[in-house]
Structures are given as C-alpha cells and as structure tokens.
Amino acid sequence: MSPAARSSAARPAAPFGPREFQFVLLRRMADHQPALVDDALRELGATYTEMREANKRWQAGAHARQGPGEFARYHRALGEPEARRPVRGDVLRGDAEAWLWRVPLWPELRFTVLVGPGRAVWSRTLTRAPGAPVPELRTAADLLPWGCTIDEVWRAFEEVEPREGVAPTLARLDFTLPGGARCAAEFAWGLLQRQVPPLPSHDLGHPSRPARPA
C-alpha cells in the first residue's frame, strides 16, 4: 500500500449527522426545486459540492454489502428521536412504531420513519410536527412547493390515486379538486415538490386509499 493510501485509510471518516442528512433530503429535491434548494444551502452555509458529497456517502452506505440496515443508518445519523409513537398495523404486517426527528431546515416538520417488526422500514417521510398549523388545501393554488406533505394532500382531496414512484423517496398522487378537476402532484421524502399533469384514472368509482404513513 502506498503512503498516500495508508494515510487515507488511517484518516477517520468525517461525522455524518443531522446536518449531513439534510443534504441527502435536499439532493433528491434539487431535481424538482433547484431555487428552493439554493436558498436552503445558503441558510445552512453550505455548497452544492458539500450536498453532493454527503449524498454520495449516504448512497454508498445504502449499497454497502455489510453495512448497517436502513433503520440503523437513520438512527446513527439522527441520534435519538424527539418522539416514538406506536402505530396500529393490520393483520398482514402487524403493528409498527413511528420515530420522529426534528429537521432544522423545516422546523414545522419532522422526519418520520415508520418501523415495523424486525426494524423493517415501512416508510420514510417528512410529516407535520405535532401541534404545528396544518395548511388549508382547497384549490390547486394552495399546493405550493414545500408547503404541504403527501399525507395532508391525501386527506384534503377526494378520489386519490397513488402512482408508481421511481424511488422509495419519491411519490406521486393524482386526485380530484373540489370543483371536479383532476390534479396531480409529485413529492420527495413526502414533501410536495410540484404539480404535474394528471394521468387517466383507473377507477374513480372506487378511489384507492391505501394506509397512510404515520
């Protein structure tokens, strides 16, 4: 091994904590809302390079053969949660527990991981903090980027149809506004990113409403 390689191997890894985890959230959102991500990075006193490097480290850990499981990675990065809440499950999956962590960039939100038996991660989303004001959603104009969560949109509108996402942290809902118009929105980590054209509905007579995240 060369001296440079030995030096690199001996150097302790930089810490990966709540600040770095926020970069992971932002990296996914940068494809949808680059201007908002720019503002967030300025607020954090960070650069795009720092954001990309943090995300690169997170993804490397996610694909490591002998790395910790997904839940352990969240726990290591974020520490002890602000709250843990039991969640009643169903016959097939059983009960679960929601772990909630503060996110400095979004003080009115919590990063919430729904943990099932064996510490299996069932969902990982940004949710409204307990007691925080919930936005009033009635029209398409109320659907502002980063202004509401996927659970809030799901509860506010009718004939909701979830669509296939391209990654566990991305989601899309098609739904009907009070006036009858169809609308659709895309979410990253459970936070609204943008509105998109709706797709043809599968069955509006029997709207699809799977269990929501805690």
CA–CA distance from 151 to each of 53, 74, 97, 160 (Å)? 30, 21, 17, 11
15-34 average pLDDT score: 95
Over the stretch 35-89, which tens digit does the pLDDT of each residue have?
A: 999 999 999 999 999 999 999 999 987 776 766 789 999 999 999 999 999 988 6
At residue 93, the pLDDT reads: 62
Q: What is residue 18's predicted lDDT score, i.e. its pLDDT?
A: 95
What pLDDT does 92 receive?
A: 47
> Minimum mean pLDDT among 17-26, 66-75, 104-113, 201-210: which range?
201-210
134-146 burial string, b = 16+ CB within 10 Å, else e? ebebeeeeebebb
Mean pLDDT (whole number) for 178-207:
84
Give the pLDDT of residue 88: 81
Residue 94 reports pLDDT greater than 90: no
At 148-186, the pLDDT tens digits run 999 999 999 999 999 876 677 899 999 999 999 999 999
pLDDT at 124 over 90: yes
Please tell me the least confidently modeled range out of 19-33, 133-147, 190-204.
190-204
Interacting residues of 202 by C-beta distance below 8 A, sequence separation 6+: 161, 208
More confident residue, 95 or 166: 95
pLDDT of residue 123: 92
196-202 LR contacts (CB < 8 Å, sep 24+) = 196/172, 198/174, 199/163, 199/174, 201/159, 201/161, 201/174, 202/161
Average pLDDT, the chain: 86
- The pLDDT, as a whole number, for residue 211 is 42
**Given strand 182-188, what is the order of strands in its sheet?**
158-163, 170-176, 182-188, 191-196
29 vs 8 pLDDT, higher one:
29
Percent of the chain at pLDDT exceeding 70: 81
User: Taking a C-beta distance cutoff of 8 angstroms, is the pair 152, 134 a contact?
Assistant: yes
* pLDDT recorded at residue 69: 87
Percent of the chain with pLDDT over 90: 70
pLDDT at 204 over 50: no
